[in-house]
Amino acid sequence: MFLILPDEVQVNESLESFLIRLYQVNGYDSYRTLAFVVRDWLYDHDNEASGAWPLVLQQANIYHANHSSAFRIRAFKLLDSLFHDASELVLSKCLLNSASFFSPRLSSVAYRNVLIPQSFLRKSNIPICPKCLRESEGIPVFWHFKPYQVCHIHECELVSHCPKCNNQLNYIVDEKISHCRCGYDLTSAEGKEVDDYESCLSKYLAGEDVNDLPQCFDMSERLGIILWFYHRYKSVPKYDPKAIIEYFSQWPNIYYDELNAISELAIDRQLKSFNHTDFKAIFGDILICCRKLPYRELNKNVILKTTINYLIQLVDKNPKNKVANLADLKLNVIEAAAILSTSIEQVYRLIEDGYLKLCIRLKRHSRLSPFQSAFYLRHVIELRQSQLPILGNQHTTYLPAW
Ligand SMILES: [Zn+2]
Ligand SMILES: [Zn+2]
């Protein structure tokens, strides 16, 4: 069996777009027809892989294959072998399952070594840029990401509905790239032009340098920052590019001001002593939500770094005193792990080895729950600053003495 490769396969073309163009250029009437032919060919070569071959385009991507994803990877590799000189072409287009998560425990998929929050993936509607489609037929993978609302090349809003029949566009359901299911030619649609400012977020997602958003080269880190922002500020219209750019143009002062206001309010309204108060009762989930975005290392997690800097200053401004102050708030294991840029397991080892002191008494034979408040903020910050081998940029694993 031999398959013709579609023209101009772009590096960032989505898997589904590639598969649609593949069935078209090889003269099949639908993806399903091609899928049956490929499956029969696979059956002769590798029974397990043929069982994992997707017959429905909407389920084609590897992250949809829960249990048999290893077999599906094998099936795509075999498909690659049908093209002349195109090693790992199909596989490189896949969104893979990933065990990594973004705080607070949000699942991710991997694409070319970039981790993408699964909540960013569009499902029912995949908007398009008509100008891009005029230039080349193929759907870039960016159009699948919810925060990507504006074409970063043409600076126009993506078109989400067909101008003729007003149906939501989804090329995967329609199995057509440049036409709506009603037959309308999408290259004649017009996307609303936007100003430079509004296209910043899309440029950031496409890997370009943008002044108003935090400087980082790693794409997973950029996605972590975007995820953190929309997760924290739920009142902001979801994926509104203006809100996030405006916010980060004032970073980090805008965040510090917000945390200062929270601290002042806590002092004004204090009911019980701060050494009997949980950190999260005052500051909410600020540590839980930036612990892993998707990295723990401070040089790759600007939100965590800024949060810790704030807490270091807070402890400095509130020295140990007879009367408890904000530096004596109580942290749980997960919050301590965030400040120490380490894993929850490592925090337990720090307790066992006597580096981290509990501020509560545990009942005999009972184990500390990760959610139980057990350390003073001051102690954890002091440990962070003590240059233990756990700390520093690269070393997030605590090395015991032996
Ligand atoms: Zn475009
Ligand atoms: Zn239509």
Domain C-terminal end among 232, 248, 264 = 248
* pLDDT score, position 127: 97
d(CA 218, CA 193): 29
Residue 396 lies in a domain: no
Ligand nearest to the CA of 180: 2
Q: Distance from the CA of 17 to the center of ligand 2, in angstroms?
A: 19
Ligand nearest to the CA of 179: 2
CA distances from 368 to 49, 329, 343, 345, 359 (A): 45, 18, 15, 12, 12
**347 CA to middle of ligand 1, Å?**
48
For 277-316, write each residue's pLDDT tens digit.
Answer: 999 999 999 999 999 999 999 999 999 999 999 999 999 9
Show Cβ contacts of residue 306 under 8 Å, excluding neighbours closer than 6 positions.
251, 252, 255, 256
393 confidence band (pLDDT: 50, 70, 90): very low
Mean pLDDT, residues 115-143 taken together: 95
Tell me how far the alpha carbon of residue 242 lies from the centroid of ligand 2, in angstroms: 30
CA 114 / ligand 1 centre spacing (Å): 22
Task: Tell me how far the alpha carbon of residue 223 lies from the centroid of ligand 1, in angstroms.
Answer: 21
* Domain termination site, one of 48, 78, 94: 94
Q: CA angle, 394 as apex, 390 and 399 as ends, to 5°?
A: 30
Per residue in 358-390, pLDDT (tens digit) is 988 888 888 899 999 999 999 999 999 986 655
Answer left, alpha or beta for residue 136, where phi above 0 means left and psi between -120 and 50 means alpha. Answer: beta
CA of 358 to the centre of ligand 2 (A): 63
Q: Does 85 share its domain with 163? A: no
Q: Report the separation in Å between the CA atom of 134 and the middle of ligand 1, taken as the mean of its atom positions.
A: 9
**120 Cα: distance to centroid of ligand 2 (angstroms):** 25
Compute the distance from residue 386 Cα to the ligand 1 centre, in Å.
51
Give the helix/strand (H/E) hosting 376: strand 375-376
- In this prediction, residue 395 has a pLDDT band, given cuts at 50, 70 and 90, of very low
Count CB atoms within 10 A of the CB of residue 81. 11
Which pLDDT belongs to residue 197? 87
- Whether residue 152 is contained in a domain is answered as yes
The kind and range of the H/E element at 200 are: helix 200-205
Average pLDDT over residues 137-163: 95
pLDDT at 389: 58
How far apart CA 123 and CA 104 sit, in angstroms, is: 22
Question: In which band, very low, low, confident or very high, does the pLDDT at 392 lie, cut at 50, 70 and 90?
Answer: very low
Domain assignment of residue 278, given as a range: 253-385
Which ligand places an atom closest to the C-alpha of 156?
1
Q: Please give the mean pLDDT across all residues of the chain.
A: 91
Ligand that comes closest to the CA of residue 184: 2
Does residue 265 sit in the same domain as residue 344?
Answer: yes
List CB contacts of 364: < 8 A, sequence separation 6 or more.
none
The end-to-end CA distance of the chain, in Å, is 59
Tally of domains within the chain: 3
* Residue 105 lies inside a defined structural domain of this protein: no
Nearest Cα to Cα of residue 10 among 177, 199, 157, 145: 177
Q: Count of CB atoms within 10 A of residue 332's CB?
A: 22
Same domain, 155 and 258: no
| Range 162-167 average pLDDT | 96
Q: Tell me, what DSSP letter sits at residue 393?
A: S
The CA 191 to ligand 1 mean position distance, Å, reads 9
Answer yes or no: is 110 within a domain: no
Instruction: Please indicate, yes or no, whether residues 266 and 243 belong to a single structural domain of this protein.
Output: no
118 alpha carbon to ligand 1 midpoint, in Å?
24
Residues 349 and 279 reside in one and the same domain: yes
End-of-domain residue from the set 248, 282, 302 = 248
Do residues 393 and 297 lie in contact, with contact meaning Cβ atoms separated by under 8 Å?
A: yes
Task: Note whether 270 and 184 are same-domain residues.
Answer: no
Pick the ligand that lies closest to the CA of residue 135: 1
Q: What are phi and psi of 160, to 5 degrees?
A: -100, -20
> Is 90 exceeded by the pLDDT of residue 85?
no
Considering every ligand atom shown, identify the ligand nearest to the alpha carbon of residue 128 and give its number: 1
Find the ligand nearest to 164 CA: 2
Tell whether 330 and 228 lie within a shared domain. no
Please name every residue paired with 114 in a beta bridge, in sequence order, or none if there are none. 111
